A and B are shown apart, each in its own frame.
Chain A
Amino acid sequence: MLHYIWLIPALPLIGFFILAVTAGRLPKLVAGAVGTASVGLSMLAVLAIWVQVGFTPLPNGGYTEVLWQWMSVGGFTPTISFYIDHLALIMMSVVTFVSFLIHLYSNEYMEDDASYSRFFAYMNLFVGSMLILVMAANLLFFYVGWEGVGLCSYLLIGFWYNNAAFDQAARKAFIVTRIGDTAMAIGFFLLFNSLGTLNIQELMHRASTAWVTGQGMAIAGSALILGGAVGKSAQFPLQVWLPDAMAGPTPVSALIHAATMVTAGVYIIARTHVLFQLAPAIQLLVAIIGALTLLIAGFSALGQDDIKRILAYSTISQIGYMFLALGVGAWSAAIFHLMTHAFFKALLFLAAGVVIHAMDGEHDIFKMGGLRKTLKIAFWPFLIGSAALTALPLITAGYYSKDLILTDAWTSQNGAWWLWVMGIVGAGLTGLYIFRAVFVAFFGEARRAVTHYPKLRVVIPLCILSFLSIVGGFVEIPPHLGDIAAFTTFMASALPTVLLTTQPVPSATLAWLQIAAGLVAFGSIAMAALLFARRAPLFNMLARSRGGRAIKQFYAVGCGFDWVYLRALKRPYWRLAEIDRNDVVDSFYTAIAALTRGCYYMLSATQTGRLRWYATGIAAGAVAFVALAVWR
């Protein structure tokens, strides 16, 4: 059975191939069916693997399936091969499952779009690439998937390419992530150069035996991989692309820019966790980046009026939590939050999509309102998703995963109280910004009539994801509340368990930490109600003051990163380009071209068309060669 795991990424790619070759000639029903069914079959294949190996640990922790050798250059022999362990299995499940639901949703959601088939082609290519990324056994093959998802992200952000602003957003996403990808590629070169392999498991093994903790090469390698992860996962300082990426269709935002692709950075850090353990400084940097990002993004989300941009900043912030968890060595907690986040963030985006459809494409939450009554089918999922995002205690999946991260941030060996404080402030911000959206968009009186109600294919994914946003966290329940550790146990074969501090934290402290987290969640909702419910009188008063307006503006532009980058990087670059208008470097190559053309003109002059001149040429050549033979 495991021999057929290549089918899992192959099926969506076959779907892509069919849709790409037919180039939109298929009827919409068939195109949607091909796109959805290929992903659905892939999901079933993952399910089959679960049945076989999900509940028993794999021998040696993982299974490698080598398909063929890719190339052989000197000692460099990368293979096309897949590696699955419990970490990959969780990722594969999340990717295929959420993808399938979002494909189903898109069947209806994109129905009125002229490029229906193209949409599914891109989405399938994305799913295939993402699965390659997750399942690749060596870093080179991994990089294929990594760049594949980057390409799909670019294509889907710019899906409506007639809009110049969307194109701009697509290019921005591509270029910003490319910065990180370049760093990552250099990191791979470095690792191969010093350890002589790109096979991930072999690499980890060699690194742990050949290097000591804190060695320069380990620090350089992990820092460069972190660079790639930061770009892909939209972390500080490369987070600027993700809010603009909301230009893509809403299912794309849900799938690529919330649930799966942006978490690839978390995945690769977890995959190469051995390197990060060998470089404690970089691991701390991961935690700091995560903590900073979650705060910056949380504040930025407060200033947004566009419902999708709120969710985008919230995604950045939640991935910040995952980075925080990775940084403190809570590997499985990061993956746990990745999973629950995939559920509730996809849910939020899909519900937002329903709202946007119902409002005729309106994104501004201040132009909505009263949807609680008029659009119940979007309200309840959005509320459940918001509750999970806020980590409302006990009843939501988000609580269990975020609480695990916060607890580990305090109690683990690499953790610190100030990381916990940053995390808890971020948690408060989370509740504030998402319930701001809830109160403004769904409560109060209606400002616009609902024009469009979703049908079955949209409702089913919403229901399933709502369900999972609630129960998805029950696989890991903290000691005080029931003490289930199914997820951590499951992950134990792939990821090390979190190292706690040497003197054990008293259980009372743990309990207080959890109570504090719960209180913050409720408090933030209450605060949001106070500020934003009923036409937001208090908020309006604050916002009208001079300082309030400045702060709102500051948040609205995402804490000014775009502003800084424009002045620090883009403008100087444009100025350089302006100076080098005639392209100094190119002149060498144009000179070669000119020389070639000159030679061509000279030689074409010899093509007189006169037979006797040709004969003379031959004779002269004969004379010359005989002369060479004689007086050599």
Chain B
Amino acid sequence: MVAIVPNYGVWLAVILFAIGMAGLLVRRNIVFMLMCIEIMLNAAGLVFIVGGARWGQADGQVLFLLILTLAAAEVAIGLALILLIHRRYGTLDADALSRMKG
């Protein structure tokens, strides 16, 4: 196959991860926070794919699959929670939901 520097794939993953992290910290709307988590998970999956490509092993893709599963489950629960929060508190502002203050 073509010779690319697989390192650049990792570069991309790190960039995506950093953007996702910044977004997670900045956004107050929990829907956006969930999206940012998706971005970060996707970046993590990308690293596995790059690894698999570098060594020619199927394990990378298998692990990407597992991350995909995790993401799917997480989104299902997360969105259900968002619906519940919206129904109960009438807001999606993460900062407003601070009743767990110690």
Contact = CB atoms under 8 A, between A and B. Distances in A.
Interface of A: 604, 606-612, 615-616, 619
A615 B30 CA distance: 12
B94 A610 contact: yes
B25 A607 contact: no
A612 B101 contact: no
Secondary structure of the A side of the interface? helix
Contacts of A612: 24-25, 28, 33, 94-95
A608 B25 contact: no
A616 B25 contact: yes
Contacts of A619: 21, 24-25
Interface residues of B, number: 14
B25 A611 contact: no
Contact of B25 (A604, A609, A615): A615
B102 to A, nearest CB: 3
B99 interface: yes
A609 B21 contact: no
Nearest to A611: B94
A607 B100 contact: yes
Contacts of B100: 607, 609
Contacts of B95: 610-612
Contacts of A607: 100-102
A283 to B, nearest CB: 69
Contacts, number: 35
A601 to B, nearest CB: 10
A608 B33 CA distance: 18
26 contacts: A606-B102, A607-B101, A607-B102, A608-B101, A608-B102, A609-B100, A609-B101, A609-B102, A610-B94, A610-B95, A610-B98, A611-B30, A611-B33, A611-B94, A611-B95, A612-B24, A612-B28, A612-B33, A612-B94, A612-B95, A615-B24, A615-B25, A615-B33, A616-B25, A619-B24, A619-B25
Interface string B7-33: 000000000000001001100101001
Contact of A609 (B24, B28, B33, B98): B98
A615 B26 CA distance: 10
B97 interface: yes
Nearest to B100: A609
Interface in B32-64: 33
Contacts of B24: 612, 615, 619
A608 B21 contact: no
Nearest to A608: B101
Contacts of B98: 608-610
A610 B25 CA distance: 11
B97 to A, nearest CB: 7
B97 A611 contact: yes
Interface string B74-102: 00000000000000000000110111111
Contacts of B101: 607-609
A608 B95 CA distance: 10
Nearest to A600: B102
A80 B50 CA distance: 68
B98 to A, nearest CB: 3
A255 B24 CA distance: 80
A619 B21 CA distance: 8
A619 B19 CA distance: 12
Nearest to B97: A611
A612 B25 CA distance: 6
Given A615-B24, A615-B25, A615-B33, 5 more contacts: A608-B98, A611-B94, A611-B97, A612-B24, A612-B25
Contacts of A616: 25
Q: Which 3 A-B pairs have the closest CB atoms?
A: A607-B102, A609-B98, A609-B101
A619 B36 CA distance: 13
Nearest to A616: B25
